[in-house]
Amino acid sequence: MNQPLLLLDVRCPNCQAALTTNEQVVLGAHLVGTGQEGEVRLSALFGDSRAETDLAIGDGDAVTYACPVCERTLTVETPCRFCGGPLASVTLASGEPLEFCGRKGCRGHALGGYGDLDEMTDLLNRMFKIPHD
């Protein structure tokens, strides 16, 4: 197999631009506390919280994300249910939304992975359009 089974192919919900490059999701970023602007490359592997950036993001710092193509925000109004931080939303290639937290260290920070088996099953069902209750 040439690619990991759970490589998330995500797009901007605004302009539909592909955001996944190789095994990373490339996003524009704004560090809330300091106002730093830059780029963040999140792991596109399901549940992997690794990220690469030149920004000085410490544990607990919050980041808001934007599409690097259309520059529109990916932040949604609803805060993270775990930490109250900014929640971002991208779209899976299947058309389903995928939300993740912008606070470093939050368990909701990894794309699609909160460590909950039911949530992982739900995401897989949405990715592969499998009918479920």
Q: What is the pLDDT of residues 79-98, one digit of tens each?
A: 998 899 999 999 998 888 88
- What pLDDT was estimated at residue 50? 87
CA dihedral 104, 98, 76, 41 (to 10 degrees): 40
Q: What is the pLDDT of residues 52-75, one digit of tens each?
A: 999 999 999 999 999 999 999 999
Distance CA 90, CA 102 (A): 12
- What pLDDT was estimated at residue 1? 42
Listed residue (80, 127, 124, 82) closest to 99, CA to CA: 80
Distance CA 102, CA 88 (A): 7
Contact 8, 26 (CB under 8 A): no
Mean pLDDT over each residue of the chain, to the nearest integer: 86
- Banded pLDDT at 34 (limits 50, 70, 90): very high
- Banded pLDDT at 47 (limits 50, 70, 90): confident
Higher pLDDT: 45 or 126? It is 45
CA-based torsion, 89, 112, 61, 39: positive or negative: negative
- The DSSP secondary structure of 52-112, one letter per residue, reads EESS-PPTT-BEEEE-TTT--B-B-SSPPTTT---EEEEEETTS-EEEEE-BTT-TT-STT
